[in-house]
Structure 1
Amino acid sequence: MPAPSSSERKACWDARDLLWKCLDDKDDKAAACQNFQSEFEAKCPAQWVKYFSKRRDYLKYKDKMQKEGFTPAQGPRQPS
């Protein structure tokens, strides 16, 4: 598979940005952004769709950890 041209990459990134904005505005309700999701999948290579989806999940998780902090889970009790 040849690498996407610069115009194809720009179209993909623009579609991704529109989808992410819609998801942010709609509290991650994918059904409300289905038309943007379809456009994103049509304009981007499948591997990029997978990467960008995981990337968004990671960025949202990272942002949540920075805002709310991290509380480690308690491990098993140590015998006395």
Structure 2
Amino acid sequence: MGWFSKQKEMDDPTKAPSRSSRKQCWESRDLFFGCLDKISVVNALDPKHQKAIKASCSAEEAKFEQDCATSWISYFKEKRVVDFKREKFLKEMEEQQK
């Protein structure tokens, strides 16, 4: 009976996440991303960073993955990379205008 992992409540497409569960997810995300910032990792999905993430941020990542829906986890990790690239591009454009 233990062959399949239990689906997280937040992954149930028939139930909208509550306000408190969304807040908990965002707090866990912010803690995990803060840890990534400390070790200078932008892309948590890049396999070359997995060793550093596991060594320095495993507790934060586990909490993030526990508190958030699976689809939200990948979305937030991808959005972090896009936001970083956008900010970098905007800074470069500002420098060119000076």
TM-score over 0.5 for the alignment? yes
Among candidates 50, 61, 67, match of residue 43 of structure 1 = 67
CA RMSD of aligned residues (A): 1.3
Matched, 1:60 2:54: no
Q: Distance in 1 between matches of 2:19 and 2:40?
A: 31
**Greater shift after overlay, 21-30 or 41-50?**
21-30
Among candidates 5, 9, 17, match of residue 4 of structure 1 = 17
Which fold has the larger relative contact order, with Cα–Cα distance below 8 Å and residues 6 or more apart in sequence?
A: 2
Give the structure 1 partner of residue 31 of structure 2. 18
Aligned length: 69
Q: Distance in 2 between matches of 1:41 and 1:24?
A: 18
Q: Distance in 1 between matches of 2:87 and 2:27?
A: 22
Q: Distance in 2 between matches of 1:64 and 1:38?
A: 29
Q: Distance in 2 between matches of 1:37 and 1:68?
A: 31
**Greater shift after overlay, 28-37 or 50-59?**
28-37
Structure 1 residue 26: Cα displacement: 1.4
Deviations 1:22-43 (A, max 9, x none): 1111111423111111110000
Q: Distance in 1 between matches of 2:88 and 2:58?
A: 25
Q: Does the residue aligned with 1:3 lie in a helix, a strand or coil?
A: coil
Equivalent residue letter for 2:70: A
Give the structure 2 partner of residue 27 of structure 1. 40
Larger radius of gyration: 1
Stretches of 4+ aligned residues off by more than 6 angstroms: none
